[in-house]
Amino acid sequence: MRGFEITVPLPLDDADTAVREALGGQGFGVLTEIDVAATLRAKLGVDRPALRILGACNPHFAQRALEADPSAGLVLPCNVVLEAVDGGTRVAVVDPRALMAEPAVAELAEEAAAALQRVVDGLADAA
């Protein structure tokens, strides 16, 4: 899957805070949060490093996407993955252009991708 990635030298909870602040600066909020590691531990007895998925949404982008193509709801919200790694936290953000290639939403996907790239770029400055 195509996306934007950075590894920040922060523990996962601190990286989570930085990610949420960076998302907010680009008009995104977090609608959902999934603690994948806790779920796998509870359901399968599998221990793995911390892995959290945030469902980020910019309501202006979402509304425009849904107006242009109601099936855009299939790819909303945008996933942001935080994973504990040696030396910090890997942050990966989905590239909306990989999910919304239809001509009706191509320009919007470019705008959303640029905003999410600024989120990742901002994390480099914050770390």
Residues 57-110 have pLDDT tens digits of 999 999 999 999 899 999 999 999 999 999 999 999 999 999 888 888 899 999
Per-residue pLDDT, 125? 80
Q: What are phi and psi of 26, to 5 degrees?
A: -110, 15
Backbone angles phi, psi at 28, to 5 degrees: -100, 145
pTM for the predicted model, two decimal places: 0.93
Q: Which domains can be identified in the chain, with CATH numbers?
A: 3-126 (3.30.310.70)
Report the distance separating Cα 30 and Cα 60, nearest Å.
14
pLDDT in tens, 17-44: 999 999 999 999 999 999 999 999 999 9
Report the pLDDT value the prediction gives residue 48, as an integer from 0 to 100: 94
Q: Average of pLDDT values for 45-49?
A: 95
pLDDT of residue 1: 74
Order of strands across the sheet with 29-35? 3-8, 88-94, 78-85, 51-57, 29-35
Give the pLDDT confidence score for residue 127 in this predicted structure: 66
